[in-house]
Each structure stands twice: as C-alpha cells, then as structure tokens.
Amino acid sequence: MSHTVEIISVGTELLLGNVVNLDAQIISQKLSELGLNVYYHTVVGDNPGRLKQAVAIAKGRADILITTGGLGPTCDDLTKQTLAEAFSKKLVFHQDIADELRTWFEKRGHPMTENNLQQAQLPEGCTVFPNDRGTAPGCVFEAEGKHVLMLPGPPSECRNMFEKQAVPYLSALGEGVIVSHTLKIFGMGESAVEDLLREQMNTMTNPTLAPYAKEGECELRLTAKAADTQTAEALLAPAVKQLQELLGDVVYGVDVPNLETAVLDLLHEQGLTLSTAESCTGGLIAKRLTDIPGASASFKGAVVSYCDQVKDSMLAVPAGLLRRQGAVSREVAEAMARGARKYLGSDIALAVTGVAGPGSDERGNPPGRVYIALSAPDMLFVRTMNLSGAPRERVRITAANHALDLARRYLSQKRLEADFR
C-alpha cells in the first residue's frame, strides 16, 4: 500500500505572509526521497475551530498527517490539544519533560513561567520527539489507521527534529524510493520548453517530466520511482541524456544550484580566474559569485564602475571614448572588460554597462539597453540586450544572468550569441 501524506502548517503568520513556509518545503523534499506521496499542503491560522476542520478533512484523505507549529507555551499554541481531541486521546503530563524545561531555563539564567509546562502535555500513548534546538518537544502516535506526527514551527527546530526523529519512523512506511534530477536551462523560457517537450511529458509515466519557471530561467525535473535508488537511477539516466541532446547548449547543468555555481565549477576545473567590471548591475554578479563558499579560488574581484571617472581611472577606459560613444555602448563595454582583466589580473573578465531605468540616459539610450562584454586571451565578445519595458530590478538580474551565461558558454566551448531581445 502506498501511503499518502498531508502537511498541515499552523500559524497565522504564515497566512499573513509575514513568514515563509520553509517547514513544508523541507519536509516535502525529504518525503519524496522516502517514497511517500505528498498530496496536500494546508496552512491554517492559530484558530482551534479552523484547525479542527483542517484535521477532519486531512483524516479523510491522507494516511499520514504531519503538523508543524503550535506546540509552544502560549495561548495560541493549540496543535496538541486539537489533534488529541480529533483522535479521542487525552493529554498526559510528562514529568521528565517538565524537569528538562526547568533545566533549560536555569542554564540560560531565565525564570520559567508556568505556561511553559504546557509543552510537557502530550497525547497519551505517543512517542516523544526530543527537541535539542528549542523547548517544545514533538511526538508521533497512531490512531484510527492514521500516523500523526507533530513538529515545532521554527525551521531550524523543525528540520533538526524531522531529520533525527521523524525520518527513521517514516522510513518504515515508505514503499521504494523516489529519485529526481533537474536540468537547469538558460536561454529558453518555460513555454518554449513545454511546447518542445509536450508530447514527451504527456506520454512519460516513470520517469515523469515537469517544467518549472524560475527567476530568468527554467528547470526540467525528471522523477523516477523504483524499489531502490540504483533502479531509479537506471530509469533516469537515458532520459537525462536524451533531453540534454535535444535541448543542446541551453542546458547549463544537471542538479546545479545556479549559473554562478556552474561558472565557478568550470573555472575551477580549468584552473582559470575571473573578474568583473559592473556599471548598471552595481556589483550583483560579484555578489552572486561570492555568495558561494570557496569562490576566492577562481574569482579575483570586481570594479563597480558606476560613474565615468571610475571607468577612466581604474579600468583605463579612455576619456575620449566615453565622450564620443557614451558609457552605454559596445565600445565602452569592450574597454571595461579589457581593463578589468588587466587591472585585476584575471584570465577572463566580464563587463556590464547599460540603462537599468526607469528613464533613458542623457544620450537617449532607452531603459533596458545593456551591453555585456567578455574579454579572454583569445577573444573579445559583446552581447547586446534590449529589455524594453522591464522594471529596473529585472534589467539588473537579467543582465547578471546573461553575463554569467556568456562566461559559462565560453568556458564550456558553446556558441556565443551576440543579441538578446
């Protein structure tokens, strides 16, 4: 029998959008690996009536109920009480948990208020999940043919408890494994990918294929279910290869987090270094590269040349060229890339200059006009972008994406395209 799961996330802050529901993401990803099917995510506020209703619905359609949040000491932490009532279970006081709570507060020099003892009340017959990141323990019990797991809301506590306590319990309930691989695509949108692969997506059953739109790029997720990981991987391998061949150089990696990681991996493999000169992107490319631990081995640095004086003095862009062509021009982008490569002593350099908007520049270049240059020992290349109508932040993000894509294409010896509209 294949078990179905519903995750019920409790917290008004989630409904209001004040807090992102990371718990559901963390749990869903792992459940997929365990071969457990997550069919529903429910978010409900700190209201016992609505929570009771959500639990009643979940009981009717899922075999495993996992709740997050509502296990704390305050009056709106009502998950345990509601779940216990829904499954006709009494709450039992655990003296050992109460003692641990007092010790927890004493070690930190804080007085423990009596409402904290609410956390020592748990449904009768449950297995307690200790919480070594906070004060609220979780638990699991089985009733009416259902498996009910309660986890704390704070993501660090939830993740830790789920991985250490819940996963061993759930592993015994899963049937087989689910394995996924993700093809990362830049240069082809979700609709174009879907149109190209529609027939395949409709006919594939195991593995399955699904596209996902991301910020400025697209993902294709292949998922296979099998008795074991080796069998699932054997199902996935030919499908991954076929898609890579079909899509060609718009695929920048498989299971790669992002473009910047792909670029740094290629630089590391080839023993090369990169630097950037950024105007309209304001250091965004450098920021994305340096977000990755170990980037310093391949990334030399950046010059954020937002004004012409910096382009002239640090990047050796001739003042005469700036006067004749203007800062937003193919010629200046080329000079910036050459200057960055020389000034920072890198093997390759990227340069970006353009008009992020919302208005045109003093020479009439429209918002969204961007030039991206790549300087390398064997070439100097420029890509022109015209993102008319795009908001300022979108122009900056898209320009950074295209700059990284140029580096990725050069390093992997893929064709370089000069224009993007």
DSSP state string for 17-86: TSS--HHHHHHHHHHHHTT-EEEEEEEE-S-HHHHHHHHHHHHTT-SEEEEES--SSSTT--HHHHHHHH
Q: Work out the mean pLDDT of the chain and round it to a whole number.
A: 94
C-beta separation of 318 from 297 below 8 A: no
Residue 315 scores a pLDDT above 50: yes
Please report, rounded to a whole number, the percentage of residues in the chain having pLDDT higher than 70: 99
List of residues 6+ apart from 75 with CB closer than 8 A: 115
User: pLDDT at position 419, please?
Assistant: 60
Lowest mean pLDDT among 78-82, 125-129, 221-225, 417-421: 417-421
C-beta separation of 186 from 250 below 8 A: yes
Residue 243 scores a pLDDT above 60: yes
Residue 175 scores a pLDDT above 70: yes
User: pLDDT at position 421, please?
Assistant: 42
Residue 93 scores a pLDDT above 60: yes
Residue 87 scores a pLDDT above 90: yes
Which whole number is the average pLDDT over 261-270?
Answer: 98
Instruction: Please report the domains of the chain, with CATH numbers, ordered by start residue.
Output: 4-171 (3.40.980.10), 177-254 (3.30.70.2860), 259-420 (3.90.950.20)
Which whole number is the average pLDDT over 264-292?
Answer: 98
Which whole number is the average pLDDT over 325-353?
Answer: 98
Pick the closest to residue 144 from 42, 83, 59, 61 (CA basis). 59
Q: What is the pLDDT of residues 98-113, one digit of tens each?
A: 999 999 999 999 889 9
* Residue 207, preceding peptide bond in cis (omega within 30° of 0): yes
Which whole number is the average pLDDT over 128-132?
Answer: 95
Q: What is the pLDDT of residues 23-60, one digit of tens each?
A: 999 999 889 888 888 999 999 999 999 999 999 999 99
Written as six digits, the tokens of 266 are 């290629």
User: pLDDT at position 45, please?
Assistant: 94
pLDDT band at 149 (very low <50, low <70, confident <90, very high): very high
User: pLDDT at position 74, please?
Assistant: 86
